[in-house]
Structure 1
């Protein structure tokens, strides 16, 4: 990992569960507890509290007093301490066992994610065990979680011990922790131990209806250990992975559009590290992308064949930088709401400036009367309006889904008993049009065709560049309107099908 990367401060509070003897195991950085403290400092986590076996919450590095050092409070006391912290917190709370051996970037998957919502660190390895309880992940969410008391049919992943409760789920975390404490102290959960505290909390949050994002490890490692030999083995596995290379690979979207995947990301990935070393921010790269788009519009407005070709090349380079700003943001984890908003606004600005440049070049200074030659201004405005409508379809649907989920959660959360030993399968095959779409998704050709038909920004920029360089603005606008109309109809059909599911 490069030290030159600028990391945003994490707003999460972290409670380290130093309640098992394994947290005192030795490693190159001291004890496992010391190592985790250093990793959290690297991730700019400012609020770290250590939960000792006596139930005391201490700041990292503080030593427990004699009373707490001698008093082992047990699982119930640990859970009540977590509940107390959750009720007093104003931001996300991360519960992290101090017997964990993990890559720093693995912890960053939760602590530096811009959403700050509830999430759990999971591995795609479905081979569950005492320190890696099984979970089932569907649609990027943990929909079922297990422990030594709770089983999970059709498990497809394992929980690796790190749980984050978003601000909206803090009350749920506190309620679950207190209920679990009552059940554990009354013996109704069987012979559970303090080592399972975080596993039980995940079970409780999922069954209480919290939307827990599955933060997948990928090639990174995170393993809880019980003895020195397992600790040494886990540390050796960390050393086998090039953490910085994994960070770079995950910064490049693997489910992007066809043009972006094969004609941009294949080489823009080589610009990410140099940009990070130069301390360029994603917003700076976005500004450079806008500047290239403006230069492209200037060349297009010249109306010459050379100007068309030069403008097309600048449109392509502008889009490369548009991809690079997101890749750089993911690589450096420099996420800000302003950056996300600026990136979206810049995309629209660049596109419409290019439209204006193409129309000006085609009109060659002629007046606007009757829409200019061949109605070029009418075509430019029609292409712009169509793009606005398509974005309205997307954003309006996304907003309605978010509102429906929020209202549904307010009305009634699907609470399930924490005493159930089994967890039936939630969810069912999608019916009708959506069911057919999901089956077709398995075919790679169909999958790429579905990505292209919606005319994402990569395909739009490629369409503009190619038609402008080889033909003229009238052909460019006709192609945008034709393909865009098909895309709008496809999107509208899909949104209606999902709305009636």
Structure 2
């Protein structure tokens, strides 16, 4: 006896409201996801020659040693600050041995500052962009900004050099004050200009990395200032240090302002 055919049940299809993603759209979305997941590398030439070729070779082994012992970027920043303060103390003596020792301590502070920046980028790889030694990541809440620590280190060194010269009978406080004021003006202008360029980025330069770093060095960034202070203090005195800082810093500021004014008024 033949059985009656089973009654077919109605099938409900859940059709999404959104249109289906086509293959080109899916590939574009995956490309964006891959770009977001990939750590951004700092552009070559974002540092000066001193930070790249004098402090840079010492950074990887020290960074590995610090990471292996659980030292954070903030801890290394504090050690770098301590080295700079010790350099200022040695500079304040005014003796030749103290000036040479202070120069070596200041170089160590520069290297440790670069190590701190590298550890911070390793902890937060989704950051990019240059800074004083190049590419500072955002500062976590409750932490001091690395640029603020760099200014504290530099001002402490200025004070130590001025105190050492004053102890030997000189009067370097006016040049030291002028160097501090010039540095403050430079950073204020640079910060204002950087804020105005967030909406429009310049095209990448095709020059070589060494040429870009040399051009960066002419602007007297932190690494070059520390190298200048160390060399002039170790082989001469604080008077020459402040004279070169004022002359070179003024020329670099004037050239930077002229270039920025030209770019701002150009169509």
The TM tier, using the shorter chain, reads 0.7 to 0.9
Give 1:251 shift.
Answer: 8.2
Task: Report the structure, 1 or 2, having the larger helix content.
Answer: 2
Decide which of 382, 385, 408 is 2:181's aligned counterpart: 385
Flag the 1:195–1:480 CA change in 2: closer, same or farther, 3 A: same
Aligned residues: CA RMSD: 3.6
Q: Which residue of 2 aligns with 1:455?
A: 220
Could you list the per-position Cα deviations for residues 345-404 of structure 1 after superposition, in whole angstroms to 9, with x for gaps in the alignment? 0000000000000000011075xxxxxx2x4111111111111111111011122334xx
Q: Which residue of 1 aligns with 2:195?
A: 399
Are 1:499 and 2:264 an aligned pair? yes
Give 1:338 shift.
Answer: 3.7
Task: Give me the whole-angstrom Cα distance separating, in 2, the residues matched to 1:286 and 1:253.
Answer: 24
Q: Which residue of 2 aligns with 1:14?
A: none
Task: Give me the whole-angstrom Cα distance separating, in 1, the residues matched to 2:250 and 2:30.
Answer: 45
Spell out the pairing of 1:238-277 with structure 2 (5 A cutoff).
255-277=46-68
Q: Which residue of 1 aligns with 2:165?
A: 362
Confirm or deny: 8 A CA contact 2:79 2:112 kept in the other structure. Answer: yes
Decide which of 337, 340, 351 is 2:139's aligned counterpart: 337
Confirm or deny: 8 A CA contact 1:301 1:358 kept in the other structure. Answer: yes
Are 1:312 and 2:103 an aligned pair? yes
Flag the 1:443–1:350 CA change in 2: closer, same or farther, 3 A: same
SS in 1 for 2:220: coil
Task: Give me the whole-angstrom Cα distance separating, in 2, the residues matched to 1:285 and 1:493.
Answer: 37
Confirm or deny: 8 A CA contact 2:46 2:212 kept in the other structure. Answer: no
Q: Which residue of 1 aligns with 2:231?
A: 466
Q: Which residue of 2 aligns with 1:287?
A: 78
Give 1:197 shift.
Answer: 4.1
Could you list the per-position Cα deviations for residues 403-439 of structure 1 after superposition, in whole angstroms to 9, with x for gaps in the alignment? xx39xxxxxxxxxxxxxxxxxxxx9x98xxxxxx95x
Could you list the per-position Cα deviations for residues 253-305 of structure 1 after superposition, in whole angstroms to 9, with x for gaps in the alignment? 76321111111111211122221121111111111111111110000001100
Task: Give me the whole-angstrom Cα distance separating, in 2, the residues matched to 1:479 and 1:380.
Answer: 11
Spell out the pairing of 1:19-418 with structure 2 (5 A cutoff).
71=14, 73=16, 77=17, 80=18, 181=19, 194-199=22-27, 255-333=46-124, 336-338=138-140, 341-364=144-167, 373=170, 375-402=171-198, 405=199
- What's the TM-score once normalised by structure 2's chain length? 0.78
- What's the TM-score once normalised by structure 1's chain length? 0.44
Flag the 1:400–1:251 CA change in 2: closer, same or farther, 3 A: closer
Task: Give me the whole-angstrom Cα distance separating, in 1, the residues matched to 2:208 and 2:250.
Answer: 25
Are 1:484 and 2:245 an aligned pair? no
Task: Report the structure, 1 or 2, having the larger strand content.
Answer: 1
Confirm or deny: 8 A CA contact 2:45 2:209 kept in the other structure. Answer: no
Unmatched tracts of structure 1, length 5 or more: 1-66, 81-180, 185-192, 206-211, 219-246, 367-372, 407-426, 431-436
Task: Give me the whole-angstrom Cα distance separating, in 1, the residues matched to 2:210 and 2:96.
Answer: 36
Confirm or deny: 8 A CA contact 2:94 2:168 kept in the other structure. Answer: no
Flag the 1:216–1:487 CA change in 2: closer, same or farther, 3 A: farther
Confirm or deny: 8 A CA contact 1:363 1:376 kept in the other structure. Answer: yes
Could you list the per-position Cα deviations for residues 71-90 of structure 1 after superposition, in whole angstroms to 9, with x for gaps in the alignment? 575xxx5xx4xxxxxxxxxx
Task: Give me the whole-angstrom Cα distance separating, in 2, the residues matched to 1:319 and 1:445.
Answer: 20
Task: Give me the whole-angstrom Cα distance separating, in 2, the residues matched to 1:311 and 1:394.
Answer: 29
SS in 2 for 1:455: coil
Task: Give me the whole-angstrom Cα distance separating, in 2, the residues matched to 1:482 and 1:360.
Answer: 21
Confirm or deny: 8 A CA contact 1:264 1:320 kept in the other structure. Answer: yes
Could you list the per-position Cα deviations for residues 161-206 of structure 1 after superposition, in whole angstroms to 9, with x for gaps in the alignment? xxxxxxxxxxxxxxxxxxxx4xx6xxxxxxxx55444445599x9x
